[in-house]
Structure 1
Amino acid sequence: MGNTNQIEKKQLRKRERELLPLPVKNDLSRRKFLRILGGGVAVALTYTDVFAFSEGASKIHHPVDETSIAAWIHIDGEGRITVFTGKVEVGQNIRTSLAQVVAEELSVPMDTIEMIMGDTDLTPYDPGTFGSRTTPYMGPQLRIAAASMKEALIAMAAKQWKVDKQFLRAKDSSIINTKTGRSLHYGEITKGQKIVLPLNKNAAITSPNERAIVGTSVPKMNGKSYITGRHKYVSDMVLPDMVYGKVLRPPVYGASLLSVNTQAARLLPGVTVIERDGFIGITAVDPQTAENAMVKIEAQWSKPAHPSKTEIFEYLKSNSTEEGNPEDTETTFRNALSTSFIQVKQDFKVQYIAHVPLEPRAGVAKWEGEHLTVWTGTQRPFGVQEELEDAFKMPKRNVRVIMPDTGSGYGGKHSGEAGVEAARLSKAVGKPVKVIWSREEEFKWAYFRPAGFISVAAGVDGKGMLTSWEFRNYNSGNAGIEIPYEVQHKNIQFHPSKSPFRQGSYRGLAATANVFAIETIMNDIAVQLKRDPLEFRIAHLRDDRLTAVLKAAADKFGWGVFKKDGTNGQGISCGFVKNAYVATCVEVSYNRDTSELSIKRIVAAFECGTIINPKHLESQVMGCILQGLGGALFEEVDFDEGRILNPTLSTYRVPRFADIPPLEIVLLDRKDLPSSGAGETPIVGIAPAVRNAIHDATGKQLYDLPLIPNGLKI
């Protein structure tokens, strides 16, 4: 394949090695041990008793070595368990699923666990919550930590009782002596001390058949605080003496500030204007005063040339990197295509779309001498810590970033703009500052899902089988770019391009565009050959897991017994992304008199290995599909000369309750396989399934996303 995806690669920022499972080492040297403890006291340097005492043993301090149990799990003197992870909660409910893993291994009730997440002072380093990596990577990490803790608790109880470890078991937050019936509560064993033993990657873990918590629909942790409104997001935070900040922004992308007059804003009571190195900001006693002051600033800008919306796809193609596969690969493909019985060639256009999180970007910053604390809604607290380190040229150890949950992200909150802006303003005025982006700012200045131009060519032999496949994606990315079907000759390339707008990660990355193109072409070929689209797909598959979700979705949908009434149609699609599988079936109805398209029902089958929490997994799949409906049908960023023209929820169309049809979800639980992530893969199936259903109902072939931004006219 051609170039790697520079857009997605940039988001990771040299973190490929950290995306592997976190290291588990048994190399606690004497020097490292003493460094970990600092001023504390160790009971003994033996495997059974490696403790660290601290001031107030139950207090939580700066994390110890990441290869230590104490970095991940702490049990206080009352037996309450604190779990530490750099992952963050953005609505996907990993706080619950990760706690389930720990509760399973330690044999404790869920309500004894508290999750500390996304705090750079308290949790081990983590590159970020993205890429559906929490369940397959952090889940096993915490499982190892919990199993190691259980192993240590058993060893310590055995020493205290002077018995053989083989007679001891963990049960109900205690270690039980199976011969005598005696028990020691976890709190009695640890006495609140930190267990700085090394993690043991070979510690025995609970087998899938014995699990009693993992695989069940445990209710959402802290769920009551969310539905009652007691949970505090960054937008809700108020600190003593805090003021509110706003930042001057240009009218269009790439504009440069020529001159500024802030005199009128400075005259308002309680307003402070900050002008430093081209940064213009305001703080005020309340948000409305800050907004009023910002309106009074007069600024002149130089505006660069930008491609129009009608020019964007030619712009992306002409500004792309045209490095390709070796010449012999392309020659082989061209020869195979030229001799095909049927040749299909088609271009696709995919518009920029916005993330539209429920909570726009928000940040609160507080300086205490040379130390900075920032609370912000981000998927990458440690990444924001590095942004602040760079912005203020200060040691990273003096920067603390805390993420107290954020109102959704969808891949759109990898960066820390509001937190950095709040920190700049706070440093200037000497008070805590809160910056909350308006909905308009979120639409205009957050990054978008990349637009893309895709070109596909496919060849089929006389037996109706794929023989050649060429796929070129310009700009949007290479996630999901590989065709899952068997084909002998392939030429698959991604061409990065220069984008006139900020662009970055989005739920499913570029797989939404790439799977749409793949599944559309597969459907068109099946229709041209007069073959059943389901049968045609299965005939080209060698992946049993993808075949299984296709059959499960089709069976639940009633694919083989679907009845057409002259207005309706059915569509099917499938995809494999992030080691998870989805198949989607859709029924649509089209009224030719009113030109009204209705989605009548959706059925999706999903498989991601072992299921941790069925109810919450179903919610994740449902959320993906419903969000995907927007990108499939009508979501697009409208722009002209670098200006965003639809930066409000009244002008940028997202799915509404009235758009939601009956939706059935089939979950395939593969207890024989490790768990994969579920936050992205289900989104890739909805757009091609809707498109293929429209084709079946109307005969109209659509090749651009969104499919019907202005309705469907036949």
Structure 2
Amino acid sequence: MNARPLPASLLDNPRLDRWIHFQPDRTVRIATGKVEMGQGVVTAIGQIAAEELDLPIDRVVVLSGDTTNGPDELYTTSSLSVEVSGGSVRLVCAEVRAKALERAALRLNCSRDDLSVVDGQFLQNGAATGQDYWTVAGEIDLTQAVTGAAPVKPASSYRVVGQSVPRFDLPAKLSGAAFVHDVLPKDVLHARTLRQPNRGATLASLDEAAIRRAAKGELQIVREANFVAFVSPIESVAQAAAAAAPAHAKWDNVRHLEAAHQEAAWLKGQASDDRRIGAWPAPATPPQHLVQMTVSRPYIAHASMSPSCALAEFRDGHLTVRSHGQGMHPLRKNLAAVLGLPVEAITAQHLHGAGCYGHNGADDAALDAALVAMRIPNRWIRLQWRREEEFGFEPVGPAMLVTLHVDLDERGRPADWTTEIWSPTHVQRPGTGSGYLLASEALAAPPPEVAPFDPSEERGGGGTRNAVPIYDVPAHRILHHLVVRPPVRTSALRGLGALPNVFAIESLIDDLAARAGEDPVAYRLSILSEPRARRLVELVAERAGWASRGPSGTGKGLGLAVARYKNRAAYAAVVAAVTVQETVKVDRVWCVADAGLVVNPDGARNQLEGGIVQAVSWTLKEQVKLDAEGIASRDWESYPILRFSEVPEMQVEFVDGAGNHTLGVGECTVGPTAAAIGNAVNHALGVRIHDMPLTRDRIMAALLKA
């Protein structure tokens, strides 16, 4: 059999022993570089391994995010964990299964075709042989590189994949044993920091005596240039010191911002690195029926329910760090670069956090903890950010301004489409060439500033993610203005640019349907030939009772949107029902998705539902606020999120994968949900609101303008 193309993770980590190990307790350990953030990836990967090895699921142990024993799969991003890491594990396990059967056949002096595997045991023509994986494991050379040539099981024979297996990570989380915040090694020291206000700010003076009086307990103050940490065996003492410190610190070279900088409209006209993508040059002839629309999204916080935290110990020249970051191998390399340690002198291990889709403060907290640990060796340091620090200093999701310029044909269909985007970078992860660990800027020799860039189109794009319509448009192009000096640090947040781009596209499609005097669903189907997307539009409209949709302007609205995440991952079609009075209330959401082969239906459904809930919150409530000192929204009152009482009723389903390969689902519902809400509000009011969040003030302004 010809070898299959290998996933990127196997090309980077070809040795079998980086992925699989047969353990003395007769379990098999499967290692993955992807980490668990609440998306259920550890369970899904365990299911894939159990399936290919014909093992009971309870005999598979998944090791996630360990630099000593696991593969380097960079960061857990872009809805690629099951598709890429799971795909790698499938090929590894298929190859190891084949090698184990070869060894068993030699021992039993029989043909390999006579052997089968049941619960890890090798049967010969259906009879027990006394041989299993563990009896032959020592004879398998796992230092070899995977070839991809071993046959994988057909989906028709799956017994574990496709089943809603309970998630491996939930018991420990429910008991409080899983989270890095709850891990307390013996004699641990607690630490908090005084944050440098901005790059280039210098600490002119620090009244340490006043801080010690406020702390009211045993306290060490660790300072390296403009990095300051407060360390105590009693957590409340370190917390009190950090809370008091800003009032007793004087900084020079502090940057001042303006409230206007918080709006996406400010981005237009700022210095930018411009790119042209697609069918350039634009037509020389002037458009005949030009329609334009501009939408915006503000800066958004990750808003994790617990602030960032890390553990670090420096002992005998070796640094061990435990973090809830999204990539332990990159963290290890980034720490080595800042601390001047050999990479081999650092171990990074993943522990669970409160969940975060994107680049929050987890990696930064790991460096904070490591800096303190190297100054206070032979003790575990537990460094946790304060809530104000998390909101004020984590990277935030970029504000975006999107303008669509669409020329219509005589039938009112798009004939030529230009998407123009203004956005800061969506990726400043450390080690990517454009990112850094925050505390490194406060050290005596900070790293040089780096020019921002965005992910390439081959990687799904950043600000341009999902900017290409799913519809049949003869010519499409993108003009991307990458704003190089935004007022705040920005980086990856769930979906990157997909949400505002899908919001813009689907809003315009609804408006074009109205312009043509046609139903929005019928109009979409008239310009949508992609069969998998068409199927979803038809199904979700049926589920939501679209045919009985009432007239516009009644205060009740029904809106629909569809997209394929990155135009290559899972498809999702969403209908939202809203009631608009003083504010927008999302009453119900219907979603039909196509993710190909779904490994764990319950876990994947959780991802669709989680994306819907987060999109509702972003669309209706969330916006980072700025003042002269920086980010001003530093608590849950100034940065409100969706409450449990506001979560809509949801009906979510997958269509049959029909033999298609697995597609990432973690981010596919975010854009369609936001757009469906926007269209539903437009239906309810008879007026479109172009700027998120769709607040009471914006509703009133739109109505007055109308």
Range into which the TM-score falls when normalised by the shorter chain: 0.7 to 0.9
1:153 to 100, 107, 115: 100
- AA aligned opposite 2:208: T
Query: Against the structure 1 CA distance between its residues 505 and 709, is the aligned structure 2 distance closer, same or farther, given a 3 Å change threshold?
Result: farther
Q: How does 1:288-687 map to 2 (within 5 A)?
A: 288-297=236-245, 298-302=248-252, 303-309=254-260, 312-321=263-272, 323-325=274-276, 329-332=280-283, 335-337=285-287, 339-340=288-289, 343-413=290-360, 416-430=363-377, 431-475=379-423, 477-497=463-483, 498-564=485-551, 566-578=554-566, 579-591=569-581, 595-687=582-674
- AA aligned opposite 1:404: L
Q: CA RMSD in A?
A: 2.4
Q: Please list every run of 5 or more consecutive structure 2 residues that lacks an aligned counterpart in the other structure.
A: 1-5, 425-462
Q: How does 1:34-433 map to 2 (within 5 A)?
A: 66-178=13-125, 180-190=127-137, 195-229=142-176, 231-251=177-197, 255-265=201-211, 269-297=217-245, 298-302=248-252, 303-309=254-260, 312-321=263-272, 323-325=274-276, 329-332=280-283, 335-337=285-287, 339-340=288-289, 343-413=290-360, 416-430=363-377, 431-433=379-381
| Contact 1:380–1:415 (CA under 8 A) maintained in structure 2 | no
Query: 1:311, CA displacement in angstroms?
Result: 6.9
Query: 1:252, CA displacement in angstroms?
Result: 6.4
- AA aligned opposite 2:92: A
Query: Against the structure 1 CA distance between its residues 484 and 597, is the aligned structure 2 distance closer, same or farther, given a 3 Å change threshold?
Result: same
Q: Structure 1 vs Structure 2: percent identity of aligned residues?
A: 24
Say which SS state the counterpart of residue 712 (structure 1) adopts: helix
Query: 1:544, CA displacement in angstroms?
Result: 1.4
- AA aligned opposite 1:575: A
Query: 1:120, CA displacement in angstroms?
Result: 0.7
Query: Against the structure 1 CA distance between its residues 458 and 24, is the aligned structure 2 distance closer, same or farther, given a 3 Å change threshold?
Result: closer
Determine if the alignment matches structure 1 residue 694 to structure 2 residue 694.
no
Paired residues, number: 649
- AA aligned opposite 2:250: Q
Q: How far, CA to CA, are the matches of 1:379 and 1:510 in structure 2?
A: 19
Q: Residues 575-601 of structure 1: CA distance to partner in whole angstroms, max 9, x if unpaired? A: 11142111111112234xxx3433221
Q: Please list every run of 5 or more consecutive structure 1 residues that lacks an aligned counterpart in the other structure.
A: 1-18, 26-65
Q: How far, CA to CA, are the matches of 1:251 and 1:700 in structure 2?
A: 42
Which shifted more, 469-478 or 605-614?
469-478
Query: Against the structure 1 CA distance between its residues 158 and 176, is the aligned structure 2 distance closer, same or farther, given a 3 Å change threshold?
Result: same
Query: 1:493, CA displacement in angstroms?
Result: 1.6
| Contact 2:7–2:87 (CA under 8 A) maintained in structure 1 | no
Query: Against the structure 1 CA distance between its residues 179 and 114, is the aligned structure 2 distance closer, same or farther, given a 3 Å change threshold?
Result: closer
Query: Against the structure 1 CA distance between its residues 445 and 322, is the aligned structure 2 distance closer, same or farther, given a 3 Å change threshold?
Result: closer
Determine if the alignment matches structure 1 residue 707 to structure 2 residue 694.
yes
Query: Against the structure 1 CA distance between its residues 220 and 421, is the aligned structure 2 distance closer, same or farther, given a 3 Å change threshold?
Result: same
Q: How far, CA to CA, are the matches of 1:192 and 1:113 in structure 2?
A: 20
Q: How far, CA to CA, are the matches of 1:395 and 1:207 in structure 2?
A: 45
Query: 1:320, CA displacement in angstroms?
Result: 3.6
Say which SS state the counterpart of residue 649 (structure 1) adopts: coil
Say which SS state the counterpart of residue 122 (structure 2) adopts: strand
| Contact 1:375–1:403 (CA under 8 A) maintained in structure 2 | yes
Q: How far, CA to CA, are the matches of 1:690 and 1:236 in structure 2?
A: 38
Q: Residues 79-136 of structure 1: CA distance to partner in whole angstroms, max 9, x if unpaired? A: 2111111111010011110000000011111111111110111111111101111111
Query: 1:432, CA displacement in angstroms?
Result: 1.7
Query: 1:671, CA displacement in angstroms?
Result: 3.8
Say which SS state the counterpart of residue 386 (structure 1) adopts: helix
Which shifted more, 234-243 or 503-512?
234-243
Q: TM-score, normalised by structure 1?
A: 0.87
Say which SS state the counterpart of residue 323 (structure 1) adopts: strand
Query: Against the structure 1 CA distance between its residues 278 and 196, is the aligned structure 2 distance closer, same or farther, given a 3 Å change threshold?
Result: same
| Contact 2:196–2:226 (CA under 8 A) maintained in structure 1 | no
| Contact 2:689–2:698 (CA under 8 A) maintained in structure 1 | no
Query: 1:266, CA displacement in angstroms?
Result: 5.0
Query: 1:146, CA displacement in angstroms?
Result: 0.8
| Contact 1:611–1:671 (CA under 8 A) maintained in structure 2 | no
